[in-house]
């Protein structure tokens, strides 16, 4: 596919899934209702339809769009930066830290705002810790040591989460922790979105602007330096931005796996490894994947399916299919 055709397809799919997500839901909203709500005389629509649309469905759809794009962007940045296709945005422990923070907050019985704050702070603190420890391992390859430290600290956080699960009341706190760790957008409110959206955008912006330079990080450090790039500085900027993005996403949506790992691969098959094209493509595909899976999560049954389960159930087979088709080429 040419670049132009890919762009048109992606933009078309994105708009289609956005429209689908907005118009489909448990609460019946007709297309007339929707157009009235969006462009027409809002007073002609009944009150509950307007509450459903503005307070519940639209924030949720926008959150899916933003979080999908953000996680895919962070995943793309990390995979390029660490020159490792198995890397996901969680590699430096941000999800594990956020999970530990959220579990602790649930154990302490804090409100949703408290849980989100703990999750956000937990994610940032863990990545900061990983980076500080990396400063003491200067003799190693900086990229490899970051990944290894991330895995070790992430495992520690995992152990902490397990400990909290053991201590939690099996009838009340434990189910809440489980649901949080499985991720989901069912609790998103306008307030969540208005807190997280600016942070997500602030994080995405440097990734977007520096996407050409990201290519240079896939070269060995000395070669990149020879081209006049301050590799260390660039790496830190990208880590901070990607961490901010992932921590904000995880703090309002819980841990949604697979998007950050699998979407960059799907896009690499579509557009190649050049981040100038890869990053926008990954953001679009991430947004589409999350919009579609979240629409399914909230419409399949009366009760919801946790989003983390659906993204894996849809993302993994799709990815395998792509891999198999690629082998044949």
Partner 1 sequence: MDVTRRRILQGLGGLLGSSLWPNLTMASTASQLSMFGQVPSAAKAQRLISAGAPADMLLLALAPERLLGLASFDLGGDYPWLSNKLTALPKLGRLAGRSSTLSLEQLLALKPDLIIDCGTVNDTFRSTAERIVAQTGIPYLLVSGKLADSAAQLRQTGAVLGADARAEQLAQIAEHILAEAAHFADARGRQLSFYAARGARGLETGVAGSLHTEAIELLGLRNVASAEHQRGLAPVSMEQLLLWQPDIIITQEPSTWQHIQTSPQWQGLKAVQQQQVLLLARFPFGWFDSPPGINRLLGIRRLQAYLDPSLQAGFKAEMQQFFAAFYHSELSDAHYQQLVEPQLVNA
Interface with partner 1 (CB under 8 A): 25-27, 47-48, 51-52, 55-57, 60, 106, 109-112, 115, 166, 169-172, 175-176, 179, 184, 186-187, 189-190, 298, 301-304, 306
Residue 102 Cβ vs partner 1, minimum distance, rounded to whole Å = 10
What are the C-alpha distances in Å from 246 to residues 163, 164, 200?
24, 23, 8
Give least dist CB 99 to partner 1, A: 15
CB of 41 to partner 1, least distance (A): 20
Instruction: Pick the closer one to partner 1 by CB: 33 or 304.
Output: 304
| 115 or 234: CB nearest partner 1 | 115
For the chain, counts of helices (H) and of strands (E): 15, 0
Of 113 and 226, nearer to partner 1 (C-beta) is 113
Which CB atom, from 141 or from 169, has the smaller least distance to partner 1? 169
Kindly write down the DSSP assignment for every residue of 99-144, as one continuous string. HHHHHHHHHTT--HHHHHHHHHHHHHHHHHHHHHHHHT-TTS-HHH
CA distance 42 to 156: 52
CB of 168 to partner 1, least distance (A): 11
Distance CA 112, CA 187 (A): 9
Shortest Cβ 52–partner 1 spacing (Å): 6
Q: Is 52 or 288 the residue whose CB approaches partner 1 more closely?
A: 52
Smallest gap, in angstroms, from Cβ of residue 266 to partner 1?
A: 27
Q: Which CA distances in Å does 211 have to 184, 201, 276, 280, 322?
A: 29, 15, 5, 9, 25
Phi-psi region of 140 (alpha: psi -120 to 50; beta: other; left: phi over 0): beta
CA distance 213 to 209: 9
- Residue 270, SS3 per DSSP: helix
Q: Of 28 and 228, which CB lies nearer to partner 1 in the complex structure?
A: 28
């Amino acid at each position: 596919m040419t670049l132009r055709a890919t762009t048109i397809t992606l933009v078309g799919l994105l708009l289609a899934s956005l429209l689908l997500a907005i118009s489909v839901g448990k609460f019946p909203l007709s297309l007339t209702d929707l157009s009235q709500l969006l462009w027409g005389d809002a007073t002609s629509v009944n009150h509950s339809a307007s509450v459903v649309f503005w307070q519940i469905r639209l924030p949720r759809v926008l959150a899916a769009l933003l979080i999908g794009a953000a996680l895919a962007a962070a995943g793309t940045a990390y995979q390029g930066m660490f020159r490792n296709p198995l890397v996901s945005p969680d590699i430096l422990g941000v999800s594990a830290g956020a999970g530990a923070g959220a579990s602790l907050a649930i154990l302490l019985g804090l409100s949703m705002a408290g849980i989100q704050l703990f999750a956000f702070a937990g994610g940032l603190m863990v990545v900061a810790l990983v980076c500080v420890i990396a400063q003491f391992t200067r003799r190693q390859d900086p990229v490899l040591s970051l990944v290894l430290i991330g895995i070790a600290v992430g495992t520690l956080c995992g152990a902490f989460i397990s400990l909290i699960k053991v201590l939690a009341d099996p009838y009340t706190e434990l189910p809440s922790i489980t649901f949080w760790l499985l991720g989901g957008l069912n609790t998103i409110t306008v307030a969540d979105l208005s807190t997280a959206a600016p942070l997500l955008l602030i994080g995405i912006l440097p990734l977007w602007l520096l996407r050409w330079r990201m290519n240079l990080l896939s070269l060995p450090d000395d070669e990149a330096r020879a081209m006049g790039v301050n590799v260390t500085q660039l790496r830190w900027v990208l880590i901070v931005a990607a961490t901010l993005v992932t921590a904000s996403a995880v703090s309002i949506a819980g841990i949604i796996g697979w998007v950050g790992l699998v979407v960059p691969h799907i896009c690499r098959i579509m557009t190649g490894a050049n981040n100038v094209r890869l990053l926008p493509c990954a953001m679009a595909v991430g947004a589409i994947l999350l919009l579609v899976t979240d629409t399914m999560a909230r419409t399949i049954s009366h009760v919801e399916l946790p989003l983390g389960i659906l993204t894996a159930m849809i993302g993994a087979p799709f990815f395998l299919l792509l891999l198999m088709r690629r082998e044949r080429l």
